[in-house]
């Protein structure tokens, strides 16, 4: 099976099985999505969804969080990974949103990545989920699945290379959904340590390129 044919089979399946897929993070605004996505780095969405209700009740928008001290925010995010750094980023990010963007999350990715703690992956998530733009956020799950299933060549050995390759081979109109399809497949089926190949819809066509499939 060619790589083009593999793309077709996989995308056709997901379009029918998960037509309305979106992030599992809980949020009520662009700001809250940005906060939740920033917090989710190297942490599970389940944990973030346990933390954010109280955080958002106290700091629902950039204006309120911009007035907080780092120690105040830290109280709410202590159970996530790297809480000290993330608390600092959240306060600094909120203050920059207030000072430079009137408290609104910018839609321009070049402006998003200027915010403290916001990298390309986080910016792409916000672009796709909130603004509906065709961006591909490559996290550990997307990276792993893309390599294991043969969607990208072995020399696509960085998140940016995987992003660029997927963007070139997935129809633009379904790129936002495709991010979630690959992410969820990696989270629940093509797991890092124990891939559940026996339960995978693509078991018969998957080349199972396990070696070097993890994000480095």
Per-residue model confidence as pLDDT tens digits over 7-66: 999 999 999 999 999 999 999 999 999 999 999 998 999 999 999 999 999 999 999 999
Instruction: Give the whole-angstrom CA distance, residue 114 versus residue 198.
Output: 43
- Residue at 109 is within a domain: yes
- Residue at 211 is within a domain: no
Catalytic residue positions, numbered: 121, 139
78-133 residue pLDDT tens: 999 999 999 999 999 999 999 999 999 999 999 999 999 999 999 999 999 999 99
Residues 119 and 145 in one domain: no
pLDDT of res. 216: 58
- Residue at 141 is within a domain: yes
- Residue at 183 is within a domain: yes
- Residue at 207 is within a domain: no
**Where does a domain end: 99, 129, 159?**
129
Residues 125 and 37 in one domain: yes
Counted residue by residue, the chain has a size of 216
Residues 145 and 183 in one domain: yes
pLDDT of res. 214: 83
Instruction: For residue 78, give every residue at least 6 positions away whose Cβ sits within 8 Å of its Cβ, in sequence order, or none.
Output: none
Residues 57 and 125 in one domain: yes
Mean per-residue pLDDT over the chain, rounded? 95
Domain of 89 in residue numbering reads as: 30-129
> Does residue 210 carry a pLDDT above 90?
no
> Does residue 137 carry a pLDDT above 70?
yes
pLDDT class for 141, splitting at 50, 70, 90? Answer: very high
**Where does a domain end: 82, 100, 129?**
129
How many domains, in total, are found in the chain?
2
Structure tokens at 121: 């992956």
Q: 192 near 144, Cβ under 8 Å?
A: yes
pLDDT class for 212, splitting at 50, 70, 90? Answer: confident
pLDDT class for 215, splitting at 50, 70, 90? Answer: confident
Instruction: For residue 103, give every residue at least 6 positions away whose Cβ sits within 8 Å of its Cβ, in sequence order, or none.
Output: 31, 61, 62, 63, 66, 97
pLDDT class for 68, splitting at 50, 70, 90? Answer: very high
pLDDT of res. 108: 94
Q: What is the CATH number of the domain that holds 115?
A: 1.10.340.30
- Residue at 213 is within a domain: no
Residues 118 and 154 in one domain: no
- Which of 109, 159, 114 has its CA nearest to residue 134? 109
- Residue at 64 is within a domain: yes
% residues pLDDT > 70 (the chain): 100
Q: Exposed, middle or buried: residue 215 (CB in 10 Å: 0-12, 13-18, 19+)?
A: middle
Residues 191 and 140 in one domain: yes
Q: What is the CATH number of the domain that holds 12?
A: 1.10.1670.10
**Where does a domain end: 129, 147, 178?**
129
Query: How would you write the chain as a 3-class SS string?
Result: CCHHHHHHHHHHHHHHHCCCCCCCCCCCCHHHHHHHHHHCCCCCHHHHHHHHHHHHHHCCCHHHHHCCCHHHHHHHHCCCCCHHHHHHHHHHHHHHHHHHHCCCCCCCHHHHCCCCCCCHHHHHHHHHHCCCCCCCCCCHHHHHHHHHCCCCCCCCCCHHHHHHHHHHHCCHHHHHHHHHHHHHHHHHCCCCCCCCHHHCCCCCCCCCCCCCCCCC
Residues 51 and 69 in one domain: yes
Radius of gyration of the chain (CA): 18
Whole-prediction pTM: 0.90
Residues 100 and 45 in one domain: yes
CA 213 to chain centre: 18
């Amino acid at each position: 099976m060619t790589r083009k044919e593999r793309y077709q089979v996989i995308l056709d399946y997901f379009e029918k099985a998960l037509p309305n897929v979106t992030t599992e993070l809980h949020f009520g605004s662009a700001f809250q999505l940005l906060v939740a996505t920033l917090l989710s780095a190297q942490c599970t969405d389940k944990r973030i969804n346990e933390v954010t209700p109280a955080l958002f009740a106290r700091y629902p928008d950039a204006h309120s969080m911009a007035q907080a001290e780092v120690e105040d925010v830290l109280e709410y995010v202590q159970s996530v990974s790297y809480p000290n750094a993330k608390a600092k980023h959240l306060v600094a990010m909120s203050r920059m949103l207030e000072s430079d963007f009137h408290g609104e999350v910018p839609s321009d990715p070049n402006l998003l990545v200027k915010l403290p703690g916001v990298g390309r992956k986080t910016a792409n998530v916000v672009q796709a989920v909130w603004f509906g733009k065709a961006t591909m956020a490559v996290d550990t799950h997307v990276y792993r699945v893309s390599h294991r299933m043969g969607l990208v060549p072995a020399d696509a050995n960085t998140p940016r290379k995987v992003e660029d390759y997927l963007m070139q081979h997935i129809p633009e109109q379904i790129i936002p959904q495709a991010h979630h399809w690959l992410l969820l497949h990696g989270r629940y089926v093509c797991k890092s340590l124990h891939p559940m190949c026996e339960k995978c819809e693509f078991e018969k066509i998957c080349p199972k390129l396990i070696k070097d499939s993890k994000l480095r």
